[in-house]
Amino acid sequence: MRIGIQVGSDLKQRTGVGEYIYQLLKHLPEVDDYKNHHFFLYATKTLKWPFKWGWTQIRLSLTMLKNKPDILFIPVHTFPIIHPKKIVVTIQGLEFERVPESYSLSERKKLRFLTKRNAKKAEKIIVPSECTKRDLIKFYKIDSNKIQVIPHGIMCEAQPHTSKSKTRPYLLYIGTKHKRKNIDGLKKAYKILKEKYKIKHELILAGPNKYIDDNKKWQLLRNADVFVFPSFYEGFGFPVLEAQSVGVPVVASSAGSLPEILNDSALLVNPKKPTEIAEAVYRIIKNPELKKELIKKGQENIKRFSWQQCAKETLKIITS
């Protein structure tokens, strides 16, 4: 089978969706059935286009017109006007429907149009969580039979594990500054921790604009006392699993897919209540046994997530 994969932009900034595409491309060749198919990657780096607009609908459509694959897999964004009859798409989450106040009106309209278009047109839809599946059914009335839940994997740190360095204790958040990530709520919780509980910890907020080197990210994770992730909604949530992989206890939101991803391996809190976030963090700081228990549960939890398995199930859906 001739399988086209619409990569889109380059993957240098591997956060969220970029990490998903990168890991899929990396692990697909390890799947037994891979050698039975021909793969074509469509990326802005290889399919040159002089404008900032029109790459998908014009440049990629022209490529489809000249040499159309049997199936087009779209792990992100949307499909071109000219495309094969069979389309498989991945929809990460419906954040703009669940927390519309975090998006402008124009953003909501654009995301709703593209996501609904993808969901209606696709022969099969891949989602990373049951939460996203429920949202597709609820908001867009999509047939549940065409939606397949395939959890993402977890990438562990590339460097050999070393003992934690003795630095000033800190709490850590890693992610973007998007409004739905609830940075303001985290800052309010931290203020409570300083004023009410008198903790000595710093709060480090890291993300695409705060670090570039991947090794720096893992160093920050490895040395954190508590990882805090109070997002209003996540379709999956890589950072919480990365924190667990290096033995850091997690306080996370009880919204979106995070309860499904974490189960009982983290303390879950109402993201709209800074006091609740602060109390959960303080429970871990003051209780070494609770911290040890959460670390142990976190290490067990990450065993459920495998990029090899994700790639295997994804290829099965694409070719079925």
CATH number of the domain within which 128 lies = 3.40.50.2000
Looking at the structure, tell me whether residues 174 and 144 fall in a common domain. no
Looking at the structure, tell me whether residues 174 and 136 fall in a common domain. no
Looking at the structure, tell me whether residues 90 and 219 fall in a common domain. no
Strand order in the sheet with 170-174: 202-206, 170-174, 226-229, 250-253, 267-269
Looking at the structure, tell me whether residues 140 and 206 fall in a common domain. no
pLDDT at 172: 97
What band does 210 get if pLDDT is binned at 50, 70 and 90?
low
Looking at the structure, tell me whether residues 179 and 310 fall in a common domain. no
Q: Which range has the worst mean pLDDT, 9-18, 162-171, 205-214, 243-252?
A: 9-18
CA angle in degrees (0–180, nearest 5) for 244-7-302: 15
In three-state form (DSSP H/G/I as H, E/B as E, the rest C), the secondary structure along 80-91 is: CCCCCCEEEEEC
Please check whether residue 301 is in contact with residue 215, taking contact to mean a CB–CB distance below 8 angstroms: no
**Cα gap 180→83, rounded to integer Å:** 33
pLDDT at 167: 73
Looking at the structure, tell me whether residues 104 and 212 fall in a common domain. no
What band does 160 get if pLDDT is binned at 50, 70 and 90?
very low
**Cα gap 70→230, rounded to integer Å:** 42
The verdict on residue 164 lying in a domain is: no
Looking at the structure, tell me whether residues 6 and 149 fall in a common domain. yes
- Helices (H) then strands (E): counts for the chain: 12, 11
pLDDT > 90? residue 272:
yes
Average pLDDT for 66-82: 92
Question: Model pTM?
Answer: 0.92
Domain encompassing residue 177? 170-304
pLDDT > 60? residue 12:
no
Residue 208 identity: P
**Cα gap 252→294, rounded to integer Å:** 12
pLDDT at 17: 83
Please check whether residue 230 is in contact with residue 253, taking contact to mean a CB–CB distance below 8 angstroms: yes
